[in-house]
Amino acid sequence: MPSPFLSSEEYDERAHQLYNEGNYDDALDTLREGLALYPNAVELHVGVGYARVARDEFAWARRSFEEALVLDPDHEDALAGLGETLLKFGQTAAAVRSFRRILELGYQDDVELMLQVGRALFRDGLMEEATEFFDIAVQQVPDNAEAIAMVGYAEHRLGKDDAAIATLRRALQVDPDHAEARIYIGNILYDRGEYEAALYHLDRTSPDDHWDELGIWRLIELKKSTYRLNDDDPSLKPWDDRLTALDGEPNAIDEMLAEIEQNADADAQQVAKGQLELFGALLADLSEQKQGEGTHNVIGRDGRNYDGTWEEIVEHMRDGSTQAGKTVLDFMQSEARRGFSLTGILISTADAESFVRGSADAGLLRIVR
């Protein structure tokens, strides 16, 4: 029941607290209660708009921001919120106009607002526009690591990796504990093949800093290859646990991979028993072809050269890894799963040649001949 003893500001403050706790439903109820008493309170309309955005109710959010702007056409938070909802409906030009109105009103010194607008544009893929607002934030507060890092993220998305790396390093100079920037620069360096530098940054993060599996997979891979760690090394357990936590319930990809692995295991058992009804003829043909093809040369991501037949190359790769005790099939299946997690590309493990060619297609190695 509405309480006449609370002011509109007090309703807004209560709703803010609930919103910050992630309790969007109660925040919305509080704001509605306040609006029943104070229908012209601009801040309450704006609060409803952001609570609706948090609940992905963008049409209702847009309406609330528009109602706020009827009461106060120059309300900066309402303009920012309206711009965000317009982006959701694909009305990019109108959204940018709403954001630029904030600049015309002179709110450049509101760093959080500049970052909010920049992030909304960034999420929508408008990197040039996002960079403009991030740059304004940096100009206002040159030692704001978050603002500097956002410039770096946008530069990377614009294909300016050298600039992005330099910018992210500057952010880390300001705040060495900025985990998101470390993870981001680590992934950029990994993609460039600068594995030692990538490990330097990723290894300075904690498992809880990661909200995406890619950085963890890459860190585990780099630690295993650099320090020659086994899969069950105790130092990797916190990272494996974080992967499990991020994985949650099995999704469609997990189920597909499990099915692929199960089928591969069944095929392996059939081979062991001599039951090659499905693949026997194909493998025989491949065997004959390989006898006449001679040797091949493959270069791994770590720069190692592997020579020999396809089977010998895979054996050499296995022997030089931390999985030397596994069978060739187990090694290929393990590497195929890891490759899928890194690239999203399925790598065949039907035979050694398919595995090597599939790994090359995924960018995990290079076939010279």
Question: How many angstroms separate the Cα of 321 from the Cα of each of 83, 309, 316, 326, 365?
Answer: 52, 18, 9, 10, 14
Domain residue spans in the chain?
A: 1-107, 252-367
In the prediction, which pLDDT does 248 show?
62
**Termini Cα distance of the chain:** 78
Its pTM surpasses 0.75: no
- The angle, 0 to 180 degrees and rounded to 10, between the axes of the packed helices 24-37 and 42-54 is 160
In the prediction, which pLDDT does 58 show?
94
In the prediction, which pLDDT does 302 show?
67
Which parts of the chain register pLDDT below 70?
A: 1-4, 248-294, 302, 340-344
* Under 8 Å between Cβ of 86 and 62: yes
- List alpha helices for 105-232, DSSP H: 111-123, 127-140, 145-157, 161-174, 179-191, 195-202, 213-227
Mean pLDDT of the chain: 85
Query: What single-letter amino acid sits at 150?
Result: M
In the prediction, which pLDDT does 135 show?
97
In the prediction, which pLDDT does 368 show?
82
Report whether CATH 1.25.40.80 matches the domain 1-107.
Answer: no
**Which residue is listed with tokens 């995406």?**
212
In the prediction, which pLDDT does 256 show?
53
**Which residue is listed with tokens 């692929």?**
260
In the prediction, which pLDDT does 276 show?
43
